[in-house]
Amino acid sequence: MIPGIHLDYQELRGISAKAARRAILQILASLNGNVAQTAKALGITRVTVYKAIKKAGEECLEDTPRTPHVVHNKTSPDIEKKVIDIKNLTNYGPLRIKDELFNQYQIVLSQHTIRNIIRRNKGWVVKKETVSNGRSNRPFIDWYQAKPFEVVQIDLKYIVDQKALSPDQITHIYTHDLPIYQWGAIDVNSRFKLIAYSKEKTWTNGLTWFLWVTSWLRSHGVENEIVYTVDHGVEFGGDCWWKITELRHLLRGFNCSIVQNQKKHPEQNAHLERSHRTDDEEFYMPRIQTITNNQQFYKEALNYLYYYNNVRKHSSLDGKTPFTTLQEQLPDIDTRIKVVPPIILDRVSVDLGPWSGYHLLAQYLS
């Protein structure tokens, strides 16, 4: 190493190839053109020094592009123009452009070639303007000012969750053919809860669950407007605008409305999400392996739901039960509301009748 030279060539090379080669030439000049000493001083090969000298002779110290000067099998400009024209006219993807190219010009290209053509010519591809669907951001829902059943959170719980239940408990559920989905609805004011079960997660069951919750509340003296908050699960309509439109239309007849939470924001259904932990800790984890058939499961679920609403004291309610809190604010509420049957949605969905194309559960008729 030459005294006074402390240069990390590789680090400099990573920052700028031009600066690294300029440093080589400067050190080479200071060493009177001695290539070997220059290479030793910088910890590089003599080939690298010679390359810097050559690049200096070409008056370009930058890296030479590695792309080939001539691509012998490159698609002709005329065909590339046809691909770009179809892309701009239709906004199709590579697979559909492939079909359109053959239908119009009898030109055969693979979808991978078409994809590469679009990438190479992205400057000529006209970007389509995104059309707003007219939906605004999620409206603010004031939980703390809501009166009983003004805001009701709806959600679906996957019972066989590996984060909650042990492998033995999950195996027990599948072995005895017990329900694997729990449908929940909870009033944010009183924490009063309704539960249903199913073995399938379907849009049909989602519709049935909304109808069941609404009819149960309306038939027991709840007359105010109800706002349901839900996530973007497919069972609640998801991102399908016509399903959401139909659901809104259905609920409007019962003086109810629906608000979709933002994606990946479970805290917007915080009350119901928190209650799922209670369900695991106080029902499924201690009891599920004692249940061996669906009839027994139903009785256990009925007892648990009664316990949750009428016996269990909730810290969020200052040590009161949900029904006590509900009765304090709605003294005229029908007291029979406190015994909520945990319905099995699969069967009820079929018994309600035809669903105009949503009927997916005919196997449960037998």
Length of the chain measured in residues: 366
Q: Cα 222 vs. chain centroid, distance in angstroms? A: 34
**pTM (predicted TM-score):** 0.61
Dump pLDDT digits (tens) for 12-25: 888 888 888 888 89
Q: Alpha-carbon distance 227 to 260, whole Å? A: 10
Within 10 Å of residue 322's Cβ, how many Cβ atoms?
24
Alpha helices in the chain (DSSP H): 9-15, 17-30, 35-42, 46-57, 77-90, 94-105, 111-120, 167-175, 203-218, 241-252, 270-279, 285-287, 294-310, 322-329, 345-351
Dump pLDDT digits (tens) for 280-310: 999 999 999 999 999 999 999 999 999 999 9
> Of residues 134 and 123, which shows the higher confidence score?
123
Dump pLDDT digits (tens) for 24-38: 899 899 899 999 998
> In this structure, are residues 138 and 261 in contact, taking their beta carbons and an 8 Å threshold?
yes
The pLDDT-based confidence of 43 (bands split at 50, 70, 90) is: confident
Residue 365: the pLDDT is: 39
Q: Alpha-carbon distance 249 to 207, whole Å? A: 12
Kindly state the average pLDDT of the residues 65-69. 74
Dump pLDDT digits (tens) for 225-269: 999 999 999 999 988 888 999 899 989 999 999 999 998 898 999
The pLDDT-based confidence of 353 (bands split at 50, 70, 90) is: low
Q: Above 80 in pLDDT, residue 313?
A: yes
Pick the CATH number of 151-365 from 3.60.70.12, 3.30.420.10, 3.90.850.10, 3.30.300.20: 3.30.420.10
Residue 352: the pLDDT is: 61
Q: How many CA atoms lie within 13 Å of 350's alpha carbon, on the beta-carbon side?
A: 12
Q: Above 90 in pLDDT, residue 2?
A: no
